Structure 1
Amino acid sequence: MTRPVSERRGIACAGNWIVDIVHTIEAWPAKSDLVRILDEVEGTGGGAANVMLSLAAFQAGLPLWAIGLVGMDRHAATVRWAVKGAGADGTHLAETERAPTAHTHVMNLPGDSRTFFYHPGTNDLLDEGDIAVEAVAEAGAKVFYLGYLNLLGRLDAVEAGSSGGARVLARARAAGMVTVADLVSTDREGFAETVAAALPHLDVLFLNEGEAARATGLPVTGPDDLDGVAAAAARLRLGGAGVVVVHTPALGLWLSGAGAVVVRPDPVPASDVVSPVGAGDAFAAGCLYGLHEGWGPEACLRLGHLAAAASLRGATATGAIPALPVLMGGQ
């Protein structure tokens, strides 16, 4: 018998496991030029990794499961070390000799932006059979997170209106878990089709303003374009998602059948921003924690913004996120 959501606890994080080598550079070079790397730090990244590690950083005692595919190399050891350090269950983090663990060289220009050079490796090989949906459901997981759509190789391929990712989400919902997905910012062909295939199987979709525009074809002029963000979110809800959460540097919008809730974050001074890598995933983790605990949309969005702001102050995606009482500061 499927265990009801009310009797479940914990979050399963499936999808991308990537080792990020973050290079802070002095300037962006012209073609064939040389610039200095001012600092270099290595950490685990990707949707599943960042969300899981952010949740672990809250030190709230939530059971966590890591699900994905890594290689048999030093980057895989980095991933497994991170999973173990988070106190998560790594039983369902499979391994293969067919490709190296996915990794990214991130070029971070302080006060400006970051650029990613990505080797997909094992992430492109991840298949439906590698994702132990039923096992984590049987273990009692309440929430099943999949990320990032459009960076999952085989799982993103759409045929006859469906995809591997969509079928994984359908299995998770059938097993009694709340289904959640996040997107990646990429100009990949078929971006909108991959999202559309997943929407009917999603209880919650996270995305930013650029991804909202790509997923819907609607114009979103920037982080402050509330009308554009709201229109895109409404289009995605019509596609089948239960809740659509759009996050930008200027606002968070939570759209459900009950209507829209908008929360604007306190700005982080540019001088405090070390790296924007993973801030969106930290936001998602904050919202997911609130969702898991039964909080309302406004409280979820506020915790999401606090987690994102903390993430911005660290060189890696999750290194600067503190325990939940410190993060919330008595709120």
Structure 2
Amino acid sequence: MKEGITIAGTIAVDEIKKIEKYPNQSELTTIKSVMRSIGGAVSNCAVSLARIDGELPIDTLAMIGEDERGDYLKERLSHYKNIDSSQVKVLGDTPFTDVYQDATSRTFFTYKGNGLYFDESKIDYQQLRTKIFHLAYILLLDGLDKEDKEYGTKTAKVLRNVQKLGIKTSIDIVSENSDRYQKLVPPCLKFTNYCIINELEAGNSVGIALRNGDGKLIEHNIRKVLYRLKKLGVKDWVVIHTPEGSFGFDGKEIHSIPSLLIDNSSIKGTVGAGDAYVSGVLYGALKAFSLWEAMQLGTAAAASSLFEADGTSGVKAYDELVKMYQEYPKRNKVEI
């Protein structure tokens, strides 16, 4: 009997530098602190899920290098008895990301390393034994972003093969400034059960902006984007998460869930908040929650991740997250 979740794709080490402010080109800025944490969807989501439910079976499917960063990732994942890393392969250099974080924003410089070689040949379908298969990040996994004559992309082919096994699929996308979204994302949506992405990724995937030039959320476009993503083939849930709140569509109802209000003095970092949100929603999907209940759990998971500088150490257990969502003040609900 299938149970649990497989997290596949991008794994990395995050080298996090807090800075005074992001400099203009050729300018100097001061690094205030330096720390290291696990990064990428595979480690972030796996650990977040393990912290939400210490008994949940979690399989990880990725590639690490036979190097110091790879050893660090293995050691960190081994802290959780319910994370199975037997499908993690060792080859080449471990990917890493330099994260520069000031008071208002984060900027990422990534080294793809062996992530360049993660493709369909690295997936043993006979070993997949979970109910949900989460693959991330589209646009960052070069081997899977390649064209496939039958399915559009290799990612789409993998998702189709997983669905044929009776396993539900989930995707996430990396945020980048490019025109690749509308080529690489729509083919995957035909074979996706849960599409859980941020507003930049959602808007770019369908060519409808969700923020204006001043960075303000274009609220009246959110419904259009949800409908468009669902029409492109998502079978169960489309969810868009933003700092202001999250928005979901299950084919029948649209839900708007406000974010929790966290005092700025309590926020130690925002790295990994998106993956924490995804983890909460996927846990809800696995446990047959309604969409709005899963979105509330994701909202609390993302908020709890802000209490620590890395992306996972602040994520709380399920009962604490439920209590946190009930008790914390919330932003005004965004009407769409």
1-side partners of 2:294 and 2:145: how far apart? Answer: 28
Once the two structures are overlaid, the 10-residue window that deviates more, 225-234 or 50-59, is 225-234
Once the two structures are overlaid, the 10-residue window that deviates more, 238-247 or 213-222, is 213-222
Matched, 1:206 2:196: yes
2-side partners of 1:279 and 1:90: how far apart? Answer: 23
Q: Which amino acid aligns with 2:289?
A: W
Q: Which amino acid aligns with 1:105?
A: D
3-state DSSP class of the match of 1:303?
helix
Matched, 1:114 2:135: no
Larger RCO: 1 or 2 (CA < 8 Å, sep 6+): 1
Matched, 1:130 2:119: no
3-state DSSP class of the match of 2:74?
helix
Q: Deviations over 1:4-42 (max 9, x none)?
A: xxx421000000001001111122234344333221111
1-side partners of 2:26 and 2:251: how far apart? Answer: 53
Partner residue of 1:157 out of 122, 129, 146: 146
3-state DSSP class of the match of 1:320?
coil
Matched, 1:197 2:187: yes
The alpha-carbon deviation at position 125 of structure 1 amounts to 1.0
Matched, 1:145 2:134: yes
The alpha-carbon deviation at position 223 of structure 1 amounts to 6.2
TM-score, with length taken from structure 2: 0.90
3-state DSSP class of the match of 1:187?
coil
Matched, 1:96 2:88: no
The alpha-carbon deviation at position 133 of structure 1 amounts to 3.1
3-state DSSP class of the match of 1:80?
helix
Contact 2:246 2:257 in 1 (8 A): yes
Contact 1:192 1:215 in 2 (8 A): yes
1-side partners of 2:242 and 2:74: how far apart? Answer: 31
Contact 2:13 2:97 in 1 (8 A): yes
3-state DSSP class of the match of 1:52?
helix
2-side partners of 1:230 and 1:82: how far apart? Answer: 40
3-state DSSP class of the match of 1:201?
coil
2-side partners of 1:313 and 1:223: how far apart? Answer: 25
1:65-84 superposed matches below 5 A: 65-84=59-78
3-state DSSP class of the match of 2:308?
coil
Q: Number of residues paired by the alignment? A: 319
CA RMSD between the two structures: 1.6
3-state DSSP class of the match of 2:175?
coil
Partner residue of 1:264 out of 237, 258, 263: 258
Equivalent in the alignment of 1:3? none
Q: Which amino acid aligns with 1:94?
A: K
Once the two structures are overlaid, the 10-residue window that deviates more, 77-86 or 65-74, is 77-86
3-state DSSP class of the match of 2:28?
coil
The alpha-carbon deviation at position 301 of structure 1 amounts to 0.7
2-side partners of 1:133 and 1:269: how far apart? Answer: 45
% identity of equivalent residues: 29
1-side partners of 2:66 and 2:179: how far apart? Answer: 30
Q: Which amino acid aligns with 2:91?
A: T
Q: Deviations over 1:259-287 (max 9, x none)?
A: 21221122222332222111111011001
Equivalent in the alignment of 1:4? none
3-state DSSP class of the match of 2:84?
coil
